[in-house]
Structure 1
């Protein structure tokens, strides 16, 4: 079993809040982690995709009151959104008995229903934590390239061969398109959404051009925006917003779009092996997205992520504003002799970041001119994780 970075944070939140929602795409390991923690806490596990377990909650107050001394794990909780209102009453009753923490662990494959329901019912009673696919720090050091190719979903990453990994990801995409997405959002033809998802993969790390997507799909821009909102809410796509705090510059206002898991990018584009990937035009953008997602995952809670791009050409791939307000400027270069363009220096002059880092696929960290630090992706992720 691969040790997940989120474990310690999840345990800490369970020890400080009555309810914790662990959110993430399907198959990232939420259930495995929850059950491991549950074994240590004499927990009650209910899978709400099981009719038998849902039947137990026909009268949730009566049933759960019998287990108030246990951690109750509710898996795929979005299947039973009406459970949130009873949970509020049970949490409040428990507080009066001195049961103030570690009551409920809610697992969800998306943020849509959880946020809508708990925003009304569990405000002040629930803590949210996101769990993504495996990050660069969690994978064995020698497997960085394999993680990039196959992505971070554990079953894909640990598959016996690249072809079996690709089969798993294709099945994953099909299941999302045919079963999961229709459950969460409006009825969208699976083939239309597959085309949209594939177009996003082709445009990995690019500025969003909704009108171009709309023309290709034969829909309007508002429909494209709704498709994108759905993919973002399902935690499958990242919409990286532009930096907007410098009023003296004309800045780009469109977000950048990333399919969050590099393995899904490659599955959507039919890239099976490392040789296929290195010869594909998307290789550079794919590695940038992989590195960007790894750093955002490693950054401490409360870190804000943006990119910077001015009309004059000043540009920074990733700006991280740490919880204390310190600004880090990060540039991604898939080269063993990385150099930044003049636009990066102009942007750094505009923003005066505390640290300027070039992340590259090499193995050695070293200082460069103009206050730049060159470092491997794994080192940069560990550095960020240590800022917590």
Structure 2
């Protein structure tokens, strides 16, 4: 079993707060991580997809009062929104009894929905953590191409073959569309949402053109916005916003859209092998999305991510504003030539970027022109997380 880097973050958060909300898409490993933690302490696990466990919490205070002092793990907690008010009272009672930290671990698969449910009830009482699919620092260095091809969902990445991995991802997509999304109470035609998701895969990393998507799907712009909001909410798609602080430039205002897991991008497009991927038109956008997702995940908590593109053609693939205020300008290219475009230099100068990095396919760190440093993805991740 691969060690999850997020596990230490969750443990640290439990030592500081009464509760932790662990967010992540289904099948990403939240339950496995939680059960691993449960083995190291006095804990109880409840799954809100199981009728018997839901019945246990029909009168939550009666049950939870008996568990005082134990870590209570509640899986798929967004399925019982009425529970959050009771959890607030439980946390406050436990604090008065001297149990101030490590009381609740709440697992959820829908980010915005869950955050809205907990924002008022548990404000100041819980820490929010996100569990992503496997990222580069969690695997062996020689497996990066496989991680890019298959994506980081554990069952996909660890499959016996590329064919088995692709079948798992195809089943995952089908199950999400036909069972999981309806389970959230959302009535969206599975076939229409799959077509939309596939269109995003074809345009991986492109600017959002809602009107074009709506025309191709035969739906309204509002419907496209609803579909996109849903996939973002389920932590399956990233909407990367444009940089907006430079009022003196005419900047692109549309966000860029990425399917967050590269393996899902490839499954939606029917790409099974590395050879298929390298010969596919999406290869550049796929690699860019893979790198950007890893870099954002590696950045310190509180980092603001965006991109920069002016009407004059100055462009930066990824801007990271770190909590200390430093600005990192990052270009991503699947090339062995450590050279960026003139537009990158112009944009980095406009923004007075503190660090200028080219993530490229070469094996070594090398200095470039204009203060740019070219480096492999793993080195860029190490620089951010160090």
What is the deviation of 1:116? 2.0
The equivalent residue for 1:317 is: 317
Distance change >3 Å, CA 185–CA 58, structure 1 → 2: closer
Q: Is there any run of 5+ residues in structure 1 with no aligned partner, and where?
A: none
Q: Deviation per CA, 1:133-164: give whole Å up to 9, x if none.
A: 01111111000000000000011000000000
What is the deviation of 1:177? 0.2
Distance change >3 Å, CA 281–CA 185, structure 1 → 2: farther
CA distance in 1, matches of 2:152, 2:322: 25
What is the deviation of 1:359? 0.2
What is the deviation of 1:113? 3.1
> Which range moved further: 93-102 or 258-267?
93-102
Q: Deviation per CA, 1:273-298: give whole Å up to 9, x if none.
A: 01100000000110000000000011
Q: Secondary structure at the match of 1:81?
A: coil
The residue correspondences of 1:270-285 to structure 2 (distance < 5 A) are: 270-285=270-285
Asked if 1 retains the 8 angstrom alpha-carbon contact of 2:44 and 2:73, the reply is: yes
The equivalent residue for 1:257 is: 257
Q: Deviation per CA, 1:347-388: give whole Å up to 9, x if none.
A: 0110111110000122211111211101000111111111xx
The equivalent residue for 2:207 is: 207
Q: Secondary structure at the match of 1:123?
A: coil
The residue correspondences of 1:188-267 to structure 2 (distance < 5 A) are: 188-267=188-267
Q: Deviation per CA, 1:204-226: give whole Å up to 9, x if none.
A: 00000000000011111111011
Q: Deviation per CA, 1:49-83: give whole Å up to 9, x if none.
A: 11111121121101111111100000111121111
The equivalent residue for 2:372 is: 372
CA distance in 1, matches of 2:185, 2:343: 41
Distance change >3 Å, CA 57–CA 85, structure 1 → 2: same
> Which range moved further: 113-122 or 270-279?
113-122
Q: Secondary structure at the match of 2:16?
A: coil
Asked if 1 retains the 8 angstrom alpha-carbon contact of 2:79 and 2:184, the reply is: no
Q: Secondary structure at the match of 1:270?
A: coil
CA distance in 1, matches of 2:183, 2:32: 23
The residue correspondences of 1:349-364 to structure 2 (distance < 5 A) are: 349-364=349-364
CA distance in 2, matches of 1:100, 1:110: 27
Q: Deviation per CA, 1:11-44: give whole Å up to 9, x if none.
A: 1110111111000001111111111111111110
Give the superposed CA RMSD: 0.9
What is the deviation of 1:85? 1.0
Q: Secondary structure at the match of 2:380?
A: helix
Q: Is there any run of 5+ residues in structure 2 with no aligned partner, and where?
A: none
What is the deviation of 1:99? 1.1
CA distance in 2, matches of 1:147, 1:330: 21
CA distance in 2, matches of 1:338, 1:193: 39
State TM-score, norm by structure 1: 0.98
The residue correspondences of 1:87-102 to structure 2 (distance < 5 A) are: 87-102=87-102
The residue correspondences of 1:59-78 to structure 2 (distance < 5 A) are: 59-78=59-78
> Which range moved further: 116-125 or 66-75?
116-125
Q: Secondary structure at the match of 2:129?
A: strand
CA distance in 2, matches of 1:20, 1:79: 17
What is the deviation of 1:185? 5.3
Q: Deviation per CA, 1:107-135: give whole Å up to 9, x if none.
A: 00111331121112111111111111011
The equivalent residue for 2:113 is: 113
State TM-score, norm by structure 2: 0.99
Q: How many residues align?
A: 386
CA distance in 1, matches of 2:266, 2:383: 28
CA distance in 1, matches of 2:107, 2:297: 19
The equivalent residue for 1:27 is: 27
The equivalent residue for 2:4 is: 4
The equivalent residue for 1:152 is: 152
CA distance in 2, matches of 1:338, 1:158: 32
* 2:176 pairs with 1:187: no
Asked if 1 retains the 8 angstrom alpha-carbon contact of 2:113 and 2:233, the reply is: no
Distance change >3 Å, CA 194–CA 121, structure 1 → 2: same
What is the deviation of 1:47? 1.1
CA distance in 2, matches of 1:293, 1:128: 19
CA distance in 2, matches of 1:70, 1:113: 27
Q: Secondary structure at the match of 1:40?
A: coil
Q: Secondary structure at the match of 1:58?
A: coil
